[in-house]
Amino acid sequence: MFLKTSNKMSNKRRDFIKKTALLSLGGAAIPQFGMANSKDNNSNSKIITDLRPKVLFFDVNETLLDLTAMKKSVADALGGREDLLKLWFTTMLQYSLVSTVGRQYNDFGIIGAAALQMVAKNNGITLTEEDAKNSILGPIRSLPAHPEVKASLQALKDAGYKLISFTNSSNKGVKTQFENAGLTQYFDDRYSIEDIGKFKPHTDAYDWAARKSGLNPNECMLVAAHGWDIAGAIWANWRTAFISRPGAQLYPLADAPEINESNLKLIAEQLIKLK
Amino acid sequence: MFLKTSNKMSNKRRDFIKKTALLSLGGAAIPQFGMANSKDNNSNSKIITDLRPKVLFFDVNETLLDLTAMKKSVADALGGREDLLKLWFTTMLQYSLVSTVGRQYNDFGIIGAAALQMVAKNNGITLTEEDAKNSILGPIRSLPAHPEVKASLQALKDAGYKLISFTNSSNKGVKTQFENAGLTQYFDDRYSIEDIGKFKPHTDAYDWAARKSGLNPNECMLVAAHGWDIAGAIWANWRTAFISRPGAQLYPLADAPEINESNLKLIAEQLIKLK
């Protein structure tokens, strides 16, 4: 019932991540999952279930799509200040949640443009609302997939997995993104939090996606390249696979994901082995 | 019933802020507040009520206390990388909301330390969990008040205002902060979101503070130096006064605050004029 895998994480991140991923899967209520061996906390291994999740949900931006072109466009809008990109992206994520906890909703791209205006002003950069929007909304719709993505999605489909995209972008936005990146054919469905009006990682967003697909939370697995998305999914009792793309960090105060690899190919290989 | 004031904002921020502050005060339900003249959208003035709020709620960090010493300590922990401070602070705010929407709660300082570890790792800086905590939790407890704060709070008290602090810091944290900064005596009460377990700007936090003080939301005014705090308070139907300290920006997608000045002295002067 259990598969003991060697832990691929070699960096020190491991030091401050709790190693009780299975506990968060509602293990007590699901006898076949059981409990991780907590005595094993200081070893370099962990125990995961070898049962397949019933659906794989994929975050889109950065997880599947390469944001490089959008980052270049935004850096241009910031007068070449590439050093401000991470601050802009983090401010956008912060304000997506500011909106959600304030019972408001705007398109993710509109929030991104507002965040860009704030970062620009704080750095003495003049940027009109229209220029801010154009710098984001143009390129975000035509991003290419990361190089390993298509083959990995095809391999997962061939292995019998059902794939659903699950994004903070709008319905129209992700439809256009997938058409332009050539990803439409790989997915059984596309979910956008636009339908519920609460951005990930709100627990309600994961609950909604699970219910919409007719599953219990612990039958869902999120594949994502953002620590906050992984944390939110774990707190919603989902299973998780983290793609540790450059610049991505897990949240130290959340449990560890079940799978943690540097690209989707390596994650797919692990998932295909499950029964 | 109305006071027409000249608008003190001279920078271009004004261009993209909606000018319907009064609409957000629940004007329709409060006849004596009435409605702002929406035809006046392109002028350089706005209409505010001249009625006093029943309680002034003060955000603490940055609003009342000068964070310079903490920023220096955190920059030291980041190997002198002062350019990363804004990213760290924004990441802390982002993850405070990641926690809240994920139905989790940790002390704000603990979240700050976790965010600091994430920023450090993304920039190749080695930082232990203990060092991250010490760099924040030591100095944050002993920050001085901004220079104009004590006299302004005294002037508001002398004018008959009831003052309550309302912070994302813990109860113990703000008690220590106020003792060390010599602010305890100015406040009728201290509220911490620790009691409700949801960080500002969650609507529930403002609702809770209003209810705890026996007031309707539109009888409360928040004084804060953070755009997200002002936005959240407005969305919760509070009145608001923004202190535009250096590096602070209003959120372009929220209504404008009733008062917007560069320090607390100027805000107090306007508040004392109200009836």
Q: Checking DSSP bridges between strand B45-49 and strand B2-6, what pairing results, if any?
A: antiparallel
What does the alpha-carbon distance between residue A62 and residue B102 come to, in Å, rounded to a whole number? 21
* A24, pLDDT greater than 60: no
What does the alpha-carbon distance between residue B169 and residue B191 come to, in Å, rounded to a whole number? 9
Interface list for B 224-243 with A (CB within 8 A): 227-228, 231-232, 235-236
Model ipTM?
0.84
> In B, which residues are within 8 Å of A16 by CB distance?
117, 129
Answer whether A100 sits within 8 Å of B101, measured CB to CB: yes
Selected for mutation to probe chain A from B97, B107, B108, B250 (highest A CB count within 10 Å) is B97
| Rounded mean pLDDT, B225-246 | 98
CB B215 within 8 A of CB B207: no
Tell me what pLDDT residue A48 has. 60
* B245, pLDDT greater than 70: yes
Tell me what pLDDT residue B138 has. 87
* A22, pLDDT greater than 90: no
Q: How close does chain A come to B81, measured CA to CA in Å?
A: 12
Omega prior to A53 cis, within 30 of 0? no
Q: Checking DSSP bridges between strand B239-243 and strand B220-224, what pairing results, if any?
A: parallel
What does the alpha-carbon distance between residue B230 and residue A195 come to, in Å, rounded to a whole number? 27
What does the alpha-carbon distance between residue B230 and residue B24 come to, in Å, rounded to a whole number? 12
The per-residue pLDDT for range B158-204, each reduced to its tens digit, is 999 999 999 999 999 999 999 999 999 999 999 999 999 999 999 99
Q: Which residue of A has its CA nearest to B99?
A: A232
The per-residue pLDDT for range A150-160, each reduced to its tens digit, is 999 999 999 99
* Long-range CB contacts (within 8 A, 24+) of B159-163: B159/B271, B159/B272, B161/B52, B161/B55, B161/B56, B161/B271, B162/B54, B162/B55, B162/B56, B162/B188, B163/B55, B163/B56, B163/B58, B163/B187, B163/B188
Q: How close does chain A come to B271, measured CA to CA in Å?
A: 26
Confidence of residue B103 (pLDDT cuts 50, 70, 90): very high
Chain B CB within 8 Å of residue A85 CB: no
Residues 6+ apart with CB under 8 A from B84: B75, B78, B119, B123
CB B100 within 8 A of CB B202: yes
Tell me what pLDDT residue B67 has. 96
* Long-range CB contacts (within 8 A, 24+) of A28-36: A30/A218, A32/A1, A33/A218, A34/A1, A34/A2
Answer whether B114 sits within 8 Å of A202, measured CB to CB: no
| Rounded mean pLDDT, A139-145 | 95
CB A178 within 8 A of CB A191: no
The per-residue pLDDT for range B119-158, each reduced to its tens digit, is 999 999 999 999 999 999 989 999 999 999 999 999 999 9
Chain A CB within 8 Å of residue B82 CB: no
Torsion, Cα of A209, A212, A218, A224 (10° steps): -30
What does the alpha-carbon distance between residue B42 and residue A82 come to, in Å, rounded to a whole number? 35
Q: Which of A83, A101, A121 sits opposite B201 (nearest CB)?
A: A101
Region of poorest pLDDT, from A131-140, B2-11, B171-180:
B2-11
Q: Checking DSSP bridges between strand B55-58 and strand B45-49, what pairing results, if any?
A: unpaired
Q: Which of B86, B98, B231 sits opposite A102 (nearest CB)?
A: B231
Chain A CB within 8 Å of residue B105 CB: no
Identity of residue A218? N
State the residue for tokens 């009691």.
B195
Tell me what pLDDT residue B50 has. 86
What does the alpha-carbon distance between residue B1 and residue B49 come to, in Å, rounded to a whole number? 7
Omega prior to A201 cis, within 30 of 0? yes
Q: How close does chain B come to A129, measured CA to CA in Å?
A: 7
Answer whether B126 sits within 8 Å of A12, measured CB to CB: yes
Chain B CB within 8 Å of residue A18 CB: no
Identity of residue A252? P
Torsion, Cα of A163, A168, A173, A174 (10° steps): -10
The per-residue pLDDT for range A158-200, each reduced to its tens digit, is 999 999 999 999 999 999 999 999 999 999 999 999 999 999 9
Tell me what pLDDT residue B15 has. 38
* Domain edges within chain B: 55-65+143-272, 68-140
Tell me what pLDDT residue A92 has. 97
> In A, which residues are within 8 Å of B199 by CB distance?
101
What does the alpha-carbon distance between residue A160 and residue A166 come to, in Å, rounded to a whole number? 19
| Rounded mean pLDDT, B31-44 | 36
Tell me what pLDDT residue B33 has. 38
Answer whether B94 sits within 8 Å of A99, measured CB to CB: no
* B7, pLDDT greater than 80: no
User: What superfamily would CATH give domain A55-65+143-272?
Assistant: HAD superfamily/HAD-like (3.40.50.1000)
Chain A CB within 8 Å of residue B275 CB: no
Can you list the alpha helix ranges (DSSP code H) found in B127-235? 129-140, 149-158, 171-181, 203-212, 227-235
Q: Is 1.10.150.240 the CATH classification of the domain at A68-140?
A: yes
Tell me what pLDDT residue B4 has. 37
Answer whether B252 sits within 8 Å of A117, measured CB to CB: yes
Percent of chain A past pLDDT 90, that is, above it, reads 81
Where is pLDDT greater, at A226 or A8?
A226
Q: How close does chain B come to A119, measured CA to CA in Å?
A: 9
Tell me what pLDDT residue B48 has. 60
Residue of A72, A212, A62 whose CA lies nearest to A144: A62
Percent of chain A past pLDDT 70, that is, above it, reads 83
* B250, pLDDT greater than 80: yes
The per-residue pLDDT for range B40-90, each reduced to its tens digit, is 333 333 446 789 999 999 999 999 999 999 999 999 999 999 999 999 999
Tell me what pLDDT residue A50 has. 86
Chain B CB within 8 Å of residue A137 CB: no
The per-residue pLDDT for range A236-259, each reduced to its tens digit, is 999 999 999 999 999 999 999 999
Confidence of residue B225 (pLDDT cuts 50, 70, 90): very high
| Rounded mean pLDDT, A112-135 | 95
| Mean pLDDT rounded to a whole number for chain A | 86
Chain A CB within 8 Å of residue B93 CB: yes
Q: Which residue of B has its CA nearest to A126?
A: B12
Q: Which of A97, A100, A236 sits opposite B94 (nearest CB)?
A: A97
Question: Residue A54 carries which DSSP code?
Answer: S
The per-residue pLDDT for range B13-28, each reduced to its tens digit, is 333 333 333 334 333 3
State the residue for tokens 């991505």.
A248
Q: Which of A99, A101, A118 sits opposite B249 (nearest CB)?
A: A118
Residues 6+ apart with CB under 8 A from A250: A13, A17, A227, A230, A231, A242, A244, A256, A257, A260
Q: Which residue of B has its CA nearest to A88?
A: B87
